[in-house]
Amino acid sequence: MATTTASITISSGDLTGDALSLSTTATLTKAGSATGLDQTSGVARKFFATAQTATPLVVASDYTADKAHKVYIKNTSTSNSEYVTVELSASPNLSIGRLYGGDWMFIPYDGNSDIDIDTSDVNMTVEYLVIYEA
C-alpha cells in the first residue's frame, strides 16, 4: 500500500499579537478508506509563451469522478507582479484565486471539473502534480 503524507508549517513572529506557529500532517488516502493514494501524474511543468485564458491544466476526464484526489500547483515565476489565476471549469469559470510568483497551492480535487488557469504575462511556467486514485 502506498503511503503519502503532506505536511505544512506556517510560522510568523509578527502576523498576530503573538508568535504564530502552526504545523499539521495528513496521510493521503482513497475516498472513504484508510488505503493510501497510489497513483500520480508525476510532477510536470508547462511553459506558456503567450498569456493564457481558461487553459486546462488538469483535465477531469483523466480522473475518476468523486474520488479523493489531491492537486499541487505552483507559479514558478520569481516576479511578484506575475500571477496565475486558478479556476474550476464552468460556465462561467469559477476562480479559486491567484498564485503570485513563487506561490503554490495544495487542494483536494473530486475529478468533476477541469482545473483551468489564466496567466498574467507571457513566458510563464506552471508546475503541477495530481495524486489520485483510479
Residue 84 has a pLDDT of 98
Determine which of 5-19, 43-57, 80-94 has the lowest per-residue pLDDT on average.
5-19
Residue type, 43: V
- The answer to whether residue 111 is domain-embedded is yes
Domain extent at residue 68: 39-132
Residue 17 has a pLDDT of 78
- The answer to whether residue 30 is domain-embedded is no
- The answer to whether residue 16 is domain-embedded is no
Instruction: Provide the CB-side half-sphere exposure for 85 (13 A, CA).
Output: 15
Residue 11 has a pLDDT of 93
pLDDT of residue 29 exceeding 80, the answer is yes
Helix, strand, or coil here: 43? Answer: coil
- The answer to whether residue 45 is domain-embedded is yes
- What value does the mean pLDDT take over residues 11-17? 86
Q: Domain tally for the chain?
A: 1
- The answer to whether residue 54 is domain-embedded is yes
- Residues with Cβ within 8 Å of residue 16, at least 6 apart in sequence: none
> What pLDDT digit, counting tens, does each position of 62-100 carry?
999 999 999 999 999 999 999 999 999 988 999 999 999
- The answer to whether residue 11 is domain-embedded is no
Q: Facing residues of 48 across strands?
A: 124
Give the rounded distance of the alpha carbon of 84 from its chain centre.
11
Distance CA 7, CA 69 (A): 16
- The answer to whether residue 13 is domain-embedded is no
Distance CA 70, CA 29 (A): 10
Residue 19 has a pLDDT of 87
Residue 1 has a pLDDT of 65
Tell me the pTM: 0.93
CATH number at residue 125: 2.60.120.10
Across the chain, mean pLDDT equals 95
Residue 18 has a pLDDT of 83
- The answer to whether residue 68 is domain-embedded is yes
